[in-house]
């Protein structure tokens, strides 16, 4: 499904939309090669807040701020293939605000607690989204992101610090719905999901032998502004488990 009208209709209704084969195999391979090169050659020279590691103290859980640290990812985030669609979904000129990874490595990849991204982004109006690109296959076994369809229409829900490095703020009381409201985003490499910054979502640990690497491109409409109340709650949570 590459038709922008159809994508926008699902996004507005559900708060999340899956698009198959958005990136070609050679684009996925180029992303993987550059991530591996960046980690091998550059990461040690970057500030501490460029990464979060898993509990073993060495395996990478997240790379942060790739749009600042790496020209390949800065350029990727500005490709018309992506920004033309994002413009439609955020209802204004799209600004790239983050490129990051959720690596969910085999066996040690940790859980992501239930949250709304706007508790981190703190924007009003909530015209902000994430394009989540599957670099590895995402299966039921390796910790797919699970979304509660339609929950982006609930507004911002009460938060609490989660104590999880890389996901410092979570929901105080995650809403639940019937099983059919859950969307577990299984993906082939090159597929993407696009999710609204208020949709409730989480992911399980990866106990499998297959890594589940995702590249995330985060955008807001140029017209959004920071909400000081949301920002104060996030700053408090983040100070307990930096950097994000």
Ligand X SMILES: O=C(O)CCC(=O)C(=O)O
* Nearest-5° Cα angle at 95, 94 to 101: 110
Q: For the chain, first and last CA: distance in Å?
A: 33
Rule CB under 6 A: say whether 117 interacts with ligand X.
yes
Q: How far is the CB of 215 from ligand X (least distance, A)?
A: 10
Distances (CA, A) of 171 to 9, 34, 61, 115, 233: 27, 34, 21, 5, 12
Cβ closest to ligand X, residue 3 vs residue 62: 62
With 0-12 / 13-18 / 19 or more C-beta atoms within 10 angstroms meaning exposed / middle / buried, residue 103 is buried
Cβ closest to ligand X, residue 41 vs residue 50: 50
Rule CB under 6 A: say whether 99 interacts with ligand X.
no
DSSP 3-state of 226 = strand
CA gap 178, 176 in Å, rounded: 7
Q: How far is the CB of 112 from ligand X (least distance, A)?
A: 4
Q: List the 201-203 sheet strands across, edge first.
A: 112-115, 201-203, 145-148, 182-184
The two three-digit tokens of residue 203, written as one number = 């992911």
Q: How far is the CB of 165 from ligand X (least distance, A)?
A: 14
For ligand X, how many residues bind (rule: CB under 6 A)? 11
Rule CB under 6 A: say whether 112 interacts with ligand X.
yes
Cβ closest to ligand X, residue 117 vs residue 227: 117
**Of residues 145, 148, 157, 164, which one binds ligand X by CB under 6 A?**
145
Q: What share of the chain is helix, strand, coil (3-state, %, to 5)?
A: 35, 30, 35
Q: How far is the CB of 107 from ligand X (least distance, A)?
A: 15
Q: How far is the CB of 149 from ligand X (least distance, A)?
A: 15
The two three-digit tokens of residue 219, written as one number = 């955008």
């508790």: which residue's tokens?
Answer: 119
Cβ closest to ligand X, residue 71 vs residue 172: 172
Rule CB under 6 A: say whether 169 interacts with ligand X.
no
**Of residues 22, 23, 64, 102, which one binds ligand X by CB under 6 A?**
102
**Of residues 129, 216, 233, 244, which one binds ligand X by CB under 6 A?**
216
Cβ closest to ligand X, residue 7 vs residue 192: 192
Rule CB under 6 A: say whether 90 interacts with ligand X.
no
Contacts with ligand X by CB under 6 A lie at 102, 104, 112, 117, 130, 132, 145, 201, 203, 214, 216
């Amino acid at each position: 499904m590459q038709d922008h009208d159809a994508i926008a209709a699902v996004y507005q209704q559900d708060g999340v939309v899956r698009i198959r084969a958005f990136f070609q195999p050679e684009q996925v391979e180029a992303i993987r090669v550059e991530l591996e090169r960046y980690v091998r050659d550059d990461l040690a020279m970057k500030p501490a807040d460029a990464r979060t590691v898993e509990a073993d103290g060495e395996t990478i859980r997240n790379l942060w701020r790739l749009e600042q640290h790496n020209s390949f990812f800065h350029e990727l985030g500005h490709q018309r293939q992506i920004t033309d669609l994002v413009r439609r979904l955020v209802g204004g000129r799209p600004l790239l605000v983050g490129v990051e990874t959720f690596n969910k490595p085999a066996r040690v990849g940790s859980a992501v607690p239930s949250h709304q991204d706007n508790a981190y982004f703190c924007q009003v109006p909530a015209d902000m989204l994430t394009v989540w690109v599957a670099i590895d296959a995402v299966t039921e076994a390796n910790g797919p992101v699970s979304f509660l369809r339609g929950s982006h229409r609930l507004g911002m829900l009460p938060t609490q610090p989660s104590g999880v490095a890389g996901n410092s703020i979570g929901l105080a009381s995650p809403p639940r719905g019937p099983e059919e409201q859950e969307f577990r985003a299984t993906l082939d490499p090159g597929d993407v999901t696009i999710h609204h910054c208020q949709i409730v979502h989480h992911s399980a640990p990866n106990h499998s032998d297959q890594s589940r690497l995702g590249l995330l491109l985060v955008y807001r409409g140029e017209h959004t502004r920071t909400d000081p109340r949301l920002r104060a709650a996030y700053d408090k949570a983040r100070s307990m488990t930096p950097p994000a």
